[in-house]
Structure 1
Amino acid sequence: MSRTQGTILVLDIGRNVSVVGEKEEKSFFQSARECAARIIERKILSQGKNLIGIILVGSNTTDNNLAKQFDGAFKRIQVLDMVTPTWQMIRQLPEQPTNTKGDWFEALIVAADYYKNVLSGVKLETKQIILLTNFKKSVSLDPENIEEVLNGFTDEGYEVSVIGPDIESKQFQDNESVQLVKQFIDSTGGVTSTIENIMKYDLLFHRKKLVKGTPWNVDLSIGPNIKIPVSAYVRTRDEPAVKGWVKSVKDPVTGKSSIYESVTKTKEYINEETGQAVDAADKVAGHLYGQKIIPLGDFDNNLLYQSGVKSLTVYGFTSADNIQWQNLNGDGLSYVFGRKGDKKAQKVIRCLVECLHELNLVCIVRKVYNNNNLPKLNVLMPVIDTNNYVCLSMIGLCYKDEIKQMSFPTTNLKKYKCSEEQVDAFKDLISAMDLTDAYDDTFDDTEAFPVAECVSPSVQYVLDCIAFRALNPDQPLPKPREEIMTLFKVPPLLQEKARKPLEKLKSLFTLTKVEVKKRHNKNLMDIDQVPNPNLQTDDPVTPNIPKVHMPAKEQIVDGIKSISTINPIEDFKALQSQNKDLSELTTGMIKAIESLILNNIDGKYNKALDAMKHLRMELVKTDPTDYNNWIKKLKTDLTACGKTEVFNQIVENQVSFILKTENSLSTYEDEHSHEESQLFENDTIPNSTELTISSDVLNMFDD
């Protein structure tokens, strides 16, 4: 059965949503656009099977199926096709409202028609319509049409929800449009909320998509004859923030990424002794024993350990007190129930759970997830929830070599004994910092950081960074937003409650700072402490020691010692202002430019081209010989390393050779004549001569 969720956002962009209220910081259009963008963003990052469409009410253009069928009706309503949500969909949302007005009631009918006629071939589990408007535009009402439309929405299973102003307030009691939309909400099972509330609560954090648990079906074996059909469901598990990354390859020339290209990878087997590649058919499997590789033949493979088929076997029972938190391992917790549809298995599991709970015992089991997988040790513990379920919880156990024993000094000593007043002070602090009573009546829930509802700050920040980078590819990543940093803070009410208990604790416990003494290695001798027999300490005059002339400290201009690749032009100007030699500056500038070109990985050479342009302008005024010789050498180097496109950019930006028309000292008349001479020189250089010499002769010269 398909699990695809369908959502159509009906966004009002007309003149009625463009006005900014007296007590408001921004218009309803701006708030509604942010809300729509956040909804699309959540749909993208949830990685669920979602289809989302957008209908613009009050648009300057009319583009919908019903407007084509009925002339003069359903105007100023534009439908954007329903597709899988993308970042481009957020970028295409209108930036400014229009000067026209649209009918939101007609937009609902257009959305229903799109589901029924345009998207009729797609099976959707839910068909949701979210309306974002402020209801300041009156709609044409016909009681007969309204009743017919309501029945059609109910029969087709559409769910209408409204995000906008508080329609339950007094100012909307006499509004016919609001009374109409309430009928849609009640008849279709939708909900209503203000933009402030939905942005503050529902869309504040990224939520995981709700998925139906997939059971792990296996037989719970107890002894040789008892096998109980059970199903294990994952309760909690450590998962990455985003699963299923789509890899893309970045073109170094254009700087764009593509998911349709890939990097070709080859796998070779190298003989360590000869250093030559070996055919994959000639390799022999082996096992690393210490530092020696033991080859395994076909007969030896049959002697290897085999874990067997998928199983869940009970080794025995032990007291629950023997299982401490430091003994637990694994990547999550699972709940084990009797197999669905097997009433006998469910009854047996319930009896087993009640017996384990009454006797304070747990099961030690051997788990093999699939055939010939690595076996793991697990513990089954009873879970009795009178309101929901009775089952077994399963979690991994550590082996002996995985447990790290740490010894701590005993605290059952007289000097560590606390008085009753000190113990009561700590009890008062614990009572004052009770997280279940962390907020006052202004909040919906008084509990802070509730179990199974508190989100991970690191996951939230990673998802925020992904969304920001998708919409702002050239800007640096932002810091974590205030809502995420709040997860690290103690609630203000608890801080106020804990102030007096903390002051009392400070008065009852006198803490002395322990200074850790630095350890000195006595084997190392300080050369300054060794007495020098040649020095006469009684003589106040400095002994006659030959003077050593140390090099003078190089003067740094404004903190600049040489031309760097960060700001080459600024460094060049700063050093030039101190009357530095132009030839020395040219050499430093050339090194910086070559580093920017040859070590470039993103394919952008703007900084290098700007530096070349500045250097060329300076050398056009004097002697261009050094610049032309360098350009000639640079072209040869770029051709050798396969970066010929860089030289094409140099020619296009007119920063290549300095011509004779620009400076009389130049030997280059025009670019075309230089290209011909350069090609002739490259063809006549005997670069391939080395290939004709025998390798024995070359080895002789090497020796």
Structure 2
Amino acid sequence: MAYNKEAIIIILDIGENSTRIVDGSDQTLLEKEKQCCTKLLQKKIFEGKKDEIGLILMGTEETQNRLNNESLGYEGICETFNLNIPNWNLVRAINRCPPCESAQANWLDAIGVAVAVLNEELQKKKFGATKIVLFTSFTNVGHCSTEKGAIVRDLKNLGTELIVISDNIEFCFDEGAGEEGSEGPSQATFSQMPDKPLQQVQAERLILEIIEETDGNLTSFQYLIDHLTHFQKKRSRLWYWNTKLEIGKDLEMQIAATISIKAESHFKFQTTAKDENMSLQMETEYFKNGEKIELSPEDKLKGYMIGLTPIPYDETLGMKKPNTTKGLRCLAFTKSSTIPPQLLCGNGTYLVMAKEGDGRSQKLFRLLVEAMIRLGHSMIASKVYMNGHKPKLVALTPNNSTAFPTLNMYEMVFADQVHHWYFPQLCTKKTQPSPEQYAAVEELIDSMDLMDAGEGGGEAFPHNKLVSPVVQNIYETVTKRALDPKYKVEVFDHRLLEALKMPQVVLDRSVEPIKKIKELFTLEAPKTYKKELVRKLCLIPVESDADPQAFAQYELPEETKKVLEIGTVTPEEDFKALVNEDITAFPKVSEQLANVLYDLIFKTMTDQSEKVCDTMTTFREFAKFYGPYVYTDWIRNVKTTVVTRRKVDFWENVVVRNRLGIISASESEQVVSVTDEEAEEFYRVNIGASASGAGQDDEVDVDDLFGQM
């Protein structure tokens, strides 16, 4: 069994000088120590690790440690908490710990006590690593009962890492520090202030020697707080889905798939009773029209809701499981560019590789991946997780970012899971951007490039270090509520907000491109339509002058009527109102408009050409985006009726002249099978004698009708 948990002993200095204000801060030394310990403990709690932490207080009025019991010395050191998994009780105890200004203890003795604790605990438990974290300013120097050589020897024998956190720390940078890929300061040392006491200087020199001989670490309070601000969940062991990949009837290979990316819940809140002895019971209540009702078991049934209709389902009937077999089955290969990202779904990504130890499968899998990369192809396959499970459609794309051949596996949607949304085209001939506008936008994008906007010229917001500030703020809030149940949630921590703050380099570089864009993309007020102008004119009193400004003060009354269906008076406006109100009702509204247009074209006695032309134009423009087939099918039927009734004038003057024929593929972004040649051929009409019978009946003389009356 691999023991990967850590044992950490925290040494907290609460003695003399712990109440002094830390330079450059409004907090005392003890408050800084508590803040760092709280960050460290809550990080361990939230990450869910099994690391064990113990606490030793240095500078206490009483002495309670195992070395003092064995011999004299080691005064002012108290073993407060034994090694155990950290909990909120330990966090509360540290935050409630008062300072002891009249007591002092030697930090070297405290390290000796921590080494003794670890030495005894390692005989009972097994740990992957051991650490001692010392919080002190080295200004409190008491009588020392431990030798430096013994401490160095014990730390090396135990393999324990010594981490020292102090306040008077400054960082030295190497020549390569700050370049891309650097992790931060290369070396930490104590600041050289001229007014330091001689004992403090000697203590700092001694701890630096110990750190150098034992490969320890020295850092500041602020650096540790920044490092502990963000939390990550505990990393779990890799899990593999072992199965086989089938290509055709005779080719198969053993593969293993593991989860690469998945949607994960960071919080698992549980409902518990305040009294541990109290039992919890879940109850279900039923309401009808807002009123609580009582239902007997006979009144309830199991089933499905299809819309507003309940469909009962009897479990005794049973539901047959699909007769499927576990594995991946290749359906086809296709160009990677033909798989649009919007068709990918699921809650994660799998990394597929050849099964370890199977030489034949590894060779076949490598050749498969290399061929897919060379041809730029991806695989569409059927995935069955276990025997009897429903098959899922997946796409497997070759991965170039790993040292060995792998495939990324994404789940895809079936056709009935896709919801189509149609929007008007943004770029038209009238709104086509100029070359200068294109160049300005490209300049803005280049100026906001993140690859060199980070600290030291590195990448800003690297994905492997970017964490959600919302999640981190919840961690902080839960910690404060655990320490103080009456704590009120405040605003975000400024350190969390700065994680997503725009880099100053990007902010400076984008000033000029933004000014240029504002100059090139001018905002213009929309022009007033003629119909609105006429309606305003109608509101002016008769005695007013004909001054153009005379009607500016009159506002249009709010529209109160609601269009319910399309009429023959204003079919174009009615059609627009109904479609804009509910875009999904376009097919139904189009059917109404088709009936109205049919009446205006073939059944009216007066000339309605202008109204029909405007309405058909609007109908055709809307259909380009929301359903070309609707207009195309309708105009084909119109053409058939025109030929039958010999409406040559209407066809030539309205349809042909205004180009209101069928919609071709070049006119619509939707899937249209009509070519430009077919659309042009549609305008040609051959009205022959075959339609003479029906056509003669349509030739009606208005004077004859009045004569017959």
1:19–1:27: 8 Å Cα contact kept in structure 2?
Answer: yes
1:231–1:337: 8 Å Cα contact kept in structure 2?
Answer: yes
Q: Which residue pairs with 1:115 in the alignment?
A: 118
Q: Which residue pairs with 1:237 in the alignment?
A: 262
Q: CA 1:22 to 1:74, structure 2 compared with 1: closer, same or farther past 3 Å?
A: closer
Match 1:156 to one of 150, 155, 158: 158
Q: Which residue pairs with 1:622 in the alignment?
A: none
In structure 2, distance between residues paired with 1:260 and 1:119: 36
Q: Which amino acid aligns with 1:276?
A: S
Relative to the length of structure 2, the TM-score reads: 0.64
In structure 2, distance between residues paired with 1:287 and 1:508: 57
- Summarize the alignment of residues 256-335 of structure 1 with structure 2, pairs less than 5 Å apart: 257-259=274-276, 261-265=278-282, 275-277=295-297, 291-295=310-314, 297=316, 301=318, 304-306=320-322, 308-335=324-351
Q: Which residue pairs with 2:369 in the alignment?
A: 353
1:353–1:391: 8 Å Cα contact kept in structure 2?
Answer: yes
Q: Which amino acid aligns with 2:280?
A: V
For residues 626-662 of structure 1, the C-alpha deviation after alignment (integer angstroms, 9 at most, x for no partner) is xxxxxxxxxxxxxxxxxxxxxxxxxxxxxxxxxxxxx
Q: Which residue pairs with 2:416 in the alignment?
A: 401
SS of the counterpart of 2:11?
Answer: strand
Deviates more, 1:151-160 or 1:39-48: 151-160
State the Cα distance separating 1:264 from its structure 2 match: 2.2
Q: Which residue pairs with 1:196 in the alignment?
A: 222
Q: Which amino acid aligns with 2:158?
A: E
For residues 668-694 of structure 1, the C-alpha deviation after alignment (integer angstroms, 9 at most, x for no partner) is xxxxxxxxxxxxxxxxxxxxxxxxxxx
- Summarize the alignment of residues 109-258 of structure 1 with structure 2, pairs less than 5 Å apart: 109-118=112-121, 120-138=123-141, 145-164=147-166, 165-166=168-169, 168-169=189-190, 171=192, 175-186=201-212, 188-200=214-226, 202-243=227-268, 245-249=269-273, 257-258=274-275
In structure 2, distance between residues paired with 1:400 and 1:26: 62
Q: Which residue pairs with 2:54 in the alignment?
A: 53
In structure 1, distance between residues paired with 2:243 and 2:205: 55
Q: Which amino acid aligns with 1:261?
A: M
Q: Which amino acid aligns with 1:88?
A: N
In structure 2, distance between residues paired with 1:263 and 1:309: 42
**Cα RMSD for the two superposed structures:** 3.5
State the Cα distance separating 1:497 from its structure 2 match: 1.8
In structure 1, distance between residues paired with 2:205 and 2:246: 62
SS of the counterpart of 1:438?
Answer: coil
Relative to the length of structure 1, the TM-score reads: 0.64
In structure 1, distance between residues paired with 2:6 and 2:122: 13
State the Cα distance separating 1:237 from its structure 2 match: 1.6
State the Cα distance separating 1:22 from its structure 2 match: 5.8
2:77–2:110: 8 Å Cα contact kept in structure 1?
Answer: no
For residues 551-600 of structure 1, the C-alpha deviation after alignment (integer angstroms, 9 at most, x for no partner) is xxxxxxxxxxxxxxxxxxxxxxxxxxxxxxxxxxxxxxxxxxxxxxxxxx
State the Cα distance separating 1:119 from its structure 2 match: 5.7
1:307–1:375: 8 Å Cα contact kept in structure 2?
Answer: no
How many corresponding residue pairs? 502
In structure 1, distance between residues paired with 2:165 and 2:452: 31
State the Cα distance separating 1:186 from its structure 2 match: 4.4
SS of the counterpart of 1:32?
Answer: helix
Match 2:497 to one of 485, 498, 516: 485
SS of the counterpart of 2:189?
Answer: coil
In structure 2, distance between residues paired with 1:59 and 1:380: 64
Q: Which residue pairs with 1:520 in the alignment?
A: 559
Matched, 1:376 2:395: no
Identity of aligned residues (%): 26
1:286–1:293: 8 Å Cα contact kept in structure 2?
Answer: yes
Q: Which residue pairs with 2:78 in the alignment?
A: 77
For residues 162-214 of structure 1, the C-alpha deviation after alignment (integer angstroms, 9 at most, x for no partner) is 222425145299944334434544455443321111212x1222233333322
Deviates more, 1:189-198 or 1:425-434: 189-198
State the Cα distance separating 1:223 from its structure 2 match: 3.2
State the Cα distance separating 1:478 from its structure 2 match: 1.3
For residues 204-236 of structure 1, the C-alpha deviation after alignment (integer angstroms, 9 at most, x for no partner) is 222333333222332233334444332222222
For residues 505-562 of structure 1, the C-alpha deviation after alignment (integer angstroms, 9 at most, x for no partner) is 11111122559999723269xxxxxxxxxxxxxxxxxxxxxxxxxxxxxxxxxxxxxx
In structure 2, distance between residues paired with 1:59 and 1:157: 29
State the Cα distance separating 1:488 from its structure 2 match: 5.0
State the Cα distance separating 1:397 from its structure 2 match: 0.9
1:51–1:84: 8 Å Cα contact kept in structure 2?
Answer: yes
In structure 1, distance between residues paired with 2:370 and 2:434: 42
State the Cα distance separating 1:122 from its structure 2 match: 2.4
For residues 93-136 of structure 1, the C-alpha deviation after alignment (integer angstroms, 9 at most, x for no partner) is 11334322222222222222212214632222222221111223
SS of the counterpart of 2:350?
Answer: strand
Match 2:519 to one of 507, 527, 552: 507
1:247–1:259: 8 Å Cα contact kept in structure 2?
Answer: no
Runs of 5+ unmatched residues, structure 1: 250-256, 525-703
Q: Which amino acid aligns with 2:270?
A: V
Q: CA 1:75 to 1:521, structure 2 compared with 1: closer, same or farther past 3 Å?
A: closer
Matched, 1:38 2:39: yes
State the Cα distance separating 1:63 from its structure 2 match: 1.5
Q: CA 1:105 to 1:321, structure 2 compared with 1: closer, same or farther past 3 Å?
A: same
In structure 1, distance between residues paired with 2:212 and 2:387: 52
2:302–2:312: 8 Å Cα contact kept in structure 1?
Answer: no
In structure 2, distance between residues paired with 1:518 and 1:157: 85
Q: CA 1:216 to 1:488, structure 2 compared with 1: closer, same or farther past 3 Å?
A: same
In structure 1, distance between residues paired with 2:303 and 2:451: 58
Q: Which amino acid aligns with 1:295?
A: D
Q: Which residue pairs with 1:105 in the alignment?
A: 108
SS of the counterpart of 2:102?
Answer: coil
In structure 1, distance between residues paired with 2:499 and 2:145: 51
Q: Which residue pairs with 1:417 in the alignment?
A: 432
In structure 1, distance between residues paired with 2:465 and 2:279: 40
Matched, 1:475 2:482: no
Q: CA 1:444 to 1:169, structure 2 compared with 1: closer, same or farther past 3 Å?
A: farther
SS of the counterpart of 2:99?
Answer: coil
State the Cα distance separating 1:381 from its structure 2 match: 1.0
SS of the counterpart of 1:467?
Answer: helix
Matched, 1:438 2:463: no
1:422–1:508: 8 Å Cα contact kept in structure 2?
Answer: yes
State the Cα distance separating 1:436 from its structure 2 match: 2.1
Q: Which amino acid aligns with 1:292?
A: I
1:105–1:139: 8 Å Cα contact kept in structure 2?
Answer: no
Runs of 5+ unmatched residues, structure 2: 170-187, 287-293, 529-555, 564-709
Q: Which amino acid aligns with 2:38?
A: A
2:104–2:141: 8 Å Cα contact kept in structure 1?
Answer: no
For residues 244-299 of structure 1, the C-alpha deviation after alignment (integer angstroms, 9 at most, x for no partner) is x33312xxxxxxx2455331247899xxxx953369xxx998777874325354xx
In structure 2, distance between residues paired with 1:224 and 1:259: 61
